[in-house]
Structure formats: structure tokens, C-alpha cells
Structure 1
């Protein structure tokens, strides 16, 4: 009897808690959260499309693009996690930025913030106590302060130079307590600021690759110049050279082809395995390169994306592309070079 009572107590929900729901109800709740947050993002777009939100967003961008130092992003709790992500996104898209924990700022890390910086402070309520010292510091030293908060009339909202006020969407879920919708909107505002600054600063794909040398992004943004073979590796022959000598060069360089240049060093043709098969005969070795070559070969530039060079080679069923500067050959890239580097 005692064991049965004990089992009943263990299986029962905590006093004051909700009874466990079914798997189907949990799934419905999950979908409701996504729908709720999507609706909040649409509301956020409307807020910053209309006035005064549009002007506030423009002012924030003007302030940030003028910063000569770093953008300091700060927040406490879940807002702090979002602040870290915003700082990381800005740093990777051409805006020097770093996260400063508000609690640590009060104990020495305030020295990380200079008069050349700007501060973005995140707080849903706008009354986060840990931000008080950071707010005071920014006001004392006239450091620009942008707030992202759901309450423009809060302490943070009133102290900031620019307040990006979130619409009153409410948190998702049955309890409506856990930071969900508010942090989603904060993240969206942070992404909007980072990518708008990218646009204002003219941040290019080359810049992006420099900041993302590793991983899939780095592979996708590799340039032909990063992978091409140059110098003595280049298989080049003169147009007037006999094929007997050209074959030696072709065999020595192992690209399965040779580029053909004229007296000025311009690339005017290519001899491939296919050209050899088409001209196979007893007099092949006595023919000149110019008689066997294919004129006007496909080429690419050193600044082209390696992915683009790979696409050309795949579409034309070729395994190598000469790289030219105007008409002068400066390198050669192979299909296998791209695949080995992870370009796809």
C-alpha cells in the first residue's frame, strides 16, 4: 500500500504545476510559438517602416557608420546572448565590434570602452539593473548609446541617444514568461543593423572571404588566384614550335594540355588530348603547334570565384582553365584543385 501511494506521488505533477500534455498538444504548441514569433517579426517590420521607427533606425545607422572605434554590444541574461551574436555578426561583416558583459563592465571591463566607440544596449524591460553603470559611463564620457528595448519610456530608452523600440508583441508560449519573441526581435534588429552597415561601407565578397577563411563560407569564396598554378608550372609553348617538342612540354607538366602563345606572349590557343586524337597520323610530330591547336581557348581571371571556374569546367567537360591577365597567361587551374579545396 505504501509503495502504491509512493508511486502515485512520484508520477503526479508538482503542486501548482500543469499536468503533462500529449505529444500532439506539444507539437501544436511548438508550431504556435513559430507562428507567434513570425507575426512579431512582421509587426517589427511595420514598426520600422513607419515613423518614428524608420527615423530612429536611420539615426542609429548614421551614428554607427561614423564610429571610428568599435561597436560595444551589451545585455544581461538572454539579451546578453543575443548581444554576443550581434557583436559577432557585425565583426564578421566589416564593423569592428565586441560584447562586453554589463556585470564585468562594473568591475573593470569598462576600460574596454573608449570615447571612439558606440554602445548598443539590449534590455527588454529597459530597467536591467546591471546596465546602470554602463549607461552612466556612456553619458559621462559622451559615448553614443543606442538602446534596443520594448519600452521606449524606460530608464534605458530615455537615456539613449537613439532608441529602437520593439513593438508590444508579448512572449510566446502558454506562460508567456520565457524570453522568446523579444529576443527574436532583438536578433532581427541586430542583423538589420549589421547588414545595413555592410551595405553603407561597401563591404565586398573579397572582404567577407578574408574574415571567413575557414569552413564552407571560406571554400565558397575562394578565388582562382588562391588555387592556380603559376610560374614554371605553366605549360606554355610557342605557336611555331613543332608538335614533337610540344608533346614533351605537355607530358612534363601533367595538365593534359598546353597553352599556345604568340610572340607577344598572348594566349592564342590550346592543345589538348582531344586535339591530339583529332590530328593523329604519321605526320603529327612534324606539324606545328599552330596547325593542331584549338583557337580562342576558354579562360578565367585570377579574381574570379573558384566556384565559377569549376562551373565552367563542369559545363564544358574540361579539366583545366588558363588564367589570364587581359590576354597574358598568368596561371592554370584544374578541376581537381577546386575539388580538393572543397569548392562545390
Structure 2
């Protein structure tokens, strides 16, 4: 029998239990997928801790993976037996050696992209795609601010924006991470632990502010991020690694220059299969043409998911992390 990480109660990394798990046979519209690797993302921590409640318990966490189609249910037209595929998004259940998943959520992998690389890039890469193409369409000459610029999404976002021709400012927590961000398209890394990042942004932009802020940090950076924007700039809050953003008066957006605010999710931007395929194709094209390099910074056995979560929460990871089978 195959195994999976199962959560019976929310809490710290210790609630991630490695247990036997029989995924069953695929029903209509489903496939049985044998994972080669699974992606590690901060949303997995939110589900584990209960910050994002999960309706069913016990449950298998994880929203990203890649592997081989091992069995196909009736009515499946999107993929075939033996196909190399990847996915990101609902339904949850990626932390497993094998899982059932709706076929319409899978995308076929180009021959040049290994499944281990795909598991490191689908959720973060398609997130970068909707951030830079959907929330605010970045153009050549725009100036952007990326928080956690040396993280998985941050590194992809910096490379993609620089490829477009934007000026990229980023924040990082150490000299090592700042150097990594600089090597991946961030022209102006700021050490947020040692520098006042709104003041540095004003200096870099000649007092104008940036066109858009991409903030996955949340509580620790949200209000100061608003001070980095030009009038009518866009604040994109897409994560909360430091904690949830407290409630605030939307009149603040008017007072700071008629700012825009959005709180997007990958699930909404890729809900339709056409949108899912468009996001994946755009990501694959940029990777295959060398515009984006996917950096797998850490690899852990799936059975050691607790160690991976501990490192992620302690901000000891750089780039993408994967859990291998």
C-alpha cells in the first residue's frame, strides 16, 4: 500500500504524520497519479495550522505535484495512461505517493521539463504569471516592489518582470538572500531588517513611488507597502507569512493617493480550464526559452515533510522546495 502525510488535528509540524494510505481507483473524470515530487508552499502551512480551515478531517495537505498517470477513469479526455503531468491548486491532497485527482486539473509536461522541476514551479510560477499579467499588467518601464524577493514566487517574479523590461526593487532578510535576488533580476535589493524600505524605495524612484507592490509577507509589511506606491498605484496582497493583515479603513487608500488593493488567489485565476492551460503554457514557454530559471533550493523526502515545514516557517529556505517520493 502507498503512503501519505495525513493531518488529524491542526497544529505545529509534528501533526504531519506519515501513514499508509490507499487512494482507491479513479472514478469518472478522475485519474490515479503516481507522484515523482510534490511542491512545498506556504499555503500548506496555513492549512496545517488551521489559519485556512479545511472542511474535512483527517486530510492530506498539498496543492502541487507532478508525476505519471497510472490509471484513468471513464470519460477522461484530457490525459492518457503514462502521461507526464503536473498540477497546482485544488483539490488538496498532494502529500501522497499516489492520489486521485480530476483530469481537468492536470496539464501535460513538455519533454524538456522534468517532473521534479515541474513540482517546484507550477504553483509559484503560475502565481507569478497572474500577478504580472492579471492583477497588474507589468510593462517595460514600470517600477515594481517585490517582497520576499529571494523566495520561490519572488525569484520567478523578479526574473519575469526584468525580462519584460521593468525596474525591479525587492526586499530580503539577509545579505545572502539579497545577493540571490540580485542574481535573478532584482536590480535594487533592500535589507528590510536593516533599512527603512519605504524610504529606500522613495530614494530609488526619485520620490515617485512604484507602480505596483507584490506583498506575500502580510502583517509586517502591509501598511509600509502602501507608502511605497505612486498615486493610483496597485497593492497586491497575496500572502501572509508574517501573519494576517489587520482590518483597516479603506479611506486610507484614498488618503494615500487613490490606491488600488487586491487580494487574489491562484484558484480564482485558473478556475476555468482554458485559464489554467494559458497560465501553464506561458510559464513553460518562459522557462524553456531561458527567461526564467526555476531554482530548487531545498529537497526533502516526503516522509520528512515536518522538517521542510520547520525550515519554511523559520525562513531558512531560498527559492523553491520540493518533497520527493
Could you say which structure has the higher helix fraction? Answer: 1
Q: Considering the TM-score relative to the shorter chain, is it more than 0.5?
A: no
Q: What range is the shorter-chain TM-score in?
A: under 0.3
Higher RCO, 1 vs 2 (CA within 8 Å, ≥6 residues apart): 2
TM-score, with structure 2 as normaliser:
0.24
TM-score, normalization by structure 1: 0.23
